[in-house]
Amino acid sequence: MKDNEKFYELEKKIRSFPEPDYDKKFTKETQDNIHENLLQIARVYDKKKKRAAIMKKISVGLASIAAFVLISILTIPIIGLDSNQQGQPGKGEPIVDKNKDKEDIDQNATEENLYENAEYGFSFTLPVSWEGYQIVSDSWEGISTDQQQTENGQILLIRHPVWTEEKPRQDIPIMIFTLKQWSSLQNGEFHIGAAPIGPTLLGQNNEYVFALPARYNFAFLEGYEEVETILENNPLQPKNVVK
């Protein structure tokens, strides 16, 4: 039986007693006072029990918090140790050489196809994807102001390895001029084709001038954007011709 129930049981027993003799100063008022005191004691005791229960819950909560704090204190150094050891090889783990990776990247960057032309004296750098390229010979013709053919020369076409008749790709055309021809062209003594602008200079050596035809990509063939990107990096390097 709980303590509160004991008090209430006691109260019932007291109430069951025979009615007192009020002539002996044990009046009804005195009885009521005793009854009220008993009830007050019961309520105070009940409050104490509730307070004790609350304190017990608080104690349990504090114990849980203390346990969590203790676990955190014990865990933090371990986590910190693991973080500091990141990147360091453990037993049986492969060692990653970052410098080696950098060397591999640099090596891949230099793995390019270099076309060299000893006859005219120049080299041309191509991407790795152009491995297996072909060199196709063509020619250009210069027309004077009186519509007479006055000059001609060679065009070397660097052709992508996947180029086909059914599906042609954009070539890289290189026009070859002698120094005299280039000078005449710049002076307007003749022109090439109907384009209002002339070829674009790519480079020159002691004997020849190398240029890109005007509107060479006017047909917008597949791969023309890639060719533009290649040409932006100054791939042609002239070399003096020794005779």
DSSP 165-176: SSS-B--EEEEE
Helix (H) or strand (E) holding 108: helix 98-110
Residuewise pLDDT in 10s, the chain (243 residues): 555 555 556 666 656 655 555 455 556 676 666 666 656 655 655 555 555 555 555 454 544 544 443 444 444 443 333 433 333 333 334 333 433 343 443 333 346 899 999 999 999 999 999 999 999 999 999 998 777 778 999 999 999 999 999 999 999 999 999 999 999 999 999 999 877 789 999 999 999 999 999 999 999 999 999 999 999 999 999 999 987
- What pLDDT sits at residue 226? 97
Burial of 174: CB neighbours in 10 Å, binned 0-12, 13-18, 19+: buried
The values of phi and psi at residue 120, to 5°, are -100, -15
- State the pLDDT at residue 102: 37
pTM metric for this prediction: 0.55
pLDDT attached to residue 193? 83
- Is 76 in a helix, a strand, or coil? helix
- Residue 156 neighbours by CB under 8 Å, 6+ apart: 117, 135, 136, 137, 138, 173, 174, 176
pLDDT of res. 150: 85
pLDDT score recorded for residue 20: 53
Signed CA dihedral, 82, 84, 89, 90: sign only: negative
What pLDDT is attached to residue 88? 35
Give the other-Cβ count within 10 Å of 4's Cβ.
13
Give the domain ranges of the chain. Answer: 3-83, 112-238
Distance CA 2, CA 52 (A): 15
The set of residues, in sequence order, having a beta carbon less than 8 Å from that of 121 and lying 6+ positions away, is 205, 206, 207, 208, 238, 239, 240, 241
Kindly state the greatest CA–CA separation across the chain: 157
d(CA 102, CA 107): 8
Question: Given this model, what pLDDT does residue 12 score?
Answer: 64
Residues 6+ apart with CB under 8 A from 235: 124, 125, 126
* Per-residue pLDDT at 101: 41
pLDDT at 242: 85
Cβ atoms of residues 179 and 209 within 8 Å: yes
Q: What was the pLDDT predicted at 111?
A: 61
Quote the pLDDT of residue 89: 34
Query: Residue 239 belongs to what H/E stretch?
Result: none
